[in-house]
């Protein structure tokens, strides 16, 4: 705006006009500031709103658990607790094997297959094996079948890498217990889903896992992503997990979460607990990030395809 010139001849009138101009400028500046302040407030609210929405979205991954299927405190015995769900179409993309391919789908939990003492022995086996190396990130695996062991950002074969020294780490009794437990898990899955256990076969990968809160260093450490076992591995028809540590006392986080359309449902690990389920999209799942402590488990997987079968592990 062009400056206003005041003539001295007007005297008090000039002074009055000058006051009005200053007052008008002040009012315009105040109005502009209020307008700007309003925009800033709106912008701030929008940013805060977006931040809150993002927080709720991320938090919902772990907090949107609408049902706890089995808590750590419960003891599910002698019969498994079974929750049936409709089978997905995933199995139609693979050759069907009568007597084994899922016709009845669901998820189940039992605490009567493996004793607490056996779980402790298997955990010590896992601890000894994983102490040989381990991932730089928060997730390490030990596969007694293939010999795969996390080491830094890669894997090594323990049988080739350590040779005969591996007999100082594992004993024949360790491997015998591992086979016995595998047979019992296979039997309870067959009984629960109405299968012929002789038509079920152990398949890969079957492995021990150790998970803690260390930051992930490679994609192998990112265990928490939702996935479907049948889609990820192909050979899986039935998946089981044997927990070797207790939720709440050995670790926090790390619960197993089934992600259904109408809400999430979780299983809280308990040493000796076996959770098992049909491996198709009807059981989309993930594991919560471990926030404290160390979570030990064994994933034992089964196929209906004899061409995908693997043998029980044996000391070289």
Active site positions, annotated:
295
Distance (Å, rounded) from C-alpha 156 to C-alpha 202? 22
Contact status, residue 105 vs residue 283, Cβ threshold 8 Å: yes
How distant, in Å, are the alpha carbons of 223, 232, 247, 282 from that of 69? 21, 24, 14, 16
**H or E element that contains 80:** none
Contact status, residue 254 vs residue 294, Cβ threshold 8 Å: no
**H or E element that contains 149:** strand 148-152
For the chain, give the number of residues: 316
Contact status, residue 216 vs residue 137, Cβ threshold 8 Å: yes
Q: Is the peptide bond preceding residue 205 cis, with omega within 30 degrees of 0?
A: yes
Burial category of 206 from C-beta neighbours within 10 Å (exposed 0-12, middle 13-18, buried 19 and up)? buried
């Amino acid at each position: 705006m062009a400056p206003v010139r005041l003539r001295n001849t007007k005297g008090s009138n000039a002074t009055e006009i000058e006051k009005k101009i200053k007052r008008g400028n002040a009012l315009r500046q105040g109005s502009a500031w209020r307008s700007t302040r309003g925009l800033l407030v709106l912008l701030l609210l929008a940013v805060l709103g977006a931040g809150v929405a993002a927080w709720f979205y991320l938090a919902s991954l772990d907090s949107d658990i609408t049902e706890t299927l089995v808590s750590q405190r419960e003891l599910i015995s002698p019969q498994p607790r079974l929750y049936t769900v409709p089978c997905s179409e995933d199995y139609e993309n693979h050759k069907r094997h009568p007597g084994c391919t899922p016709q009845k789908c669901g998820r189940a939990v039992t605490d009567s297959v493996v004793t607490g003492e056996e779980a402790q022995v298997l955990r010590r086996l896992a601890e000894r094996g994983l102490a040989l190396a381990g991932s730089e990130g928060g997730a390490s695996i030990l596969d007694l079948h293939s010999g795969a062991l996390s080491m830094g950002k890669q894997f090594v074969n323990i049988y080739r890498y350590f040779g005969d020294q591996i007999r100082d780490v594992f004993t024949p009794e360790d491997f015998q217990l591992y086979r016995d437990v595998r047979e019992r898990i296979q039997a309870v899955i067959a009984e629960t889903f109405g299968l012929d256990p002789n038509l079920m076969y152990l398949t890969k990968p079957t492995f021990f896992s150790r998970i803690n809160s260390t930051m992930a260093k490679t994609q192998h450490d990112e265990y928490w992503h939702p996935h479907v076992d049948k889609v990820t591995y192909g050979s899986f028809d039935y998946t089981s997990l044997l927990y070797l540590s207790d939720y709440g006392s050995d670790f926090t986080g790390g619960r197993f979460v089934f992600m259904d359309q109408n809400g999430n449902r979780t299983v809280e690990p308990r040493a000796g607990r076996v959770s098992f389920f049909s491996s198709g999209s009807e059981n989309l799942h993930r594991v919560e990030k471990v926030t404290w402590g160390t979570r030990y488990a064994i994933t034992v997987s089964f196929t209906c395809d004899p061409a995908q079968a693997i043998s029980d592990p044996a000391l070289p």
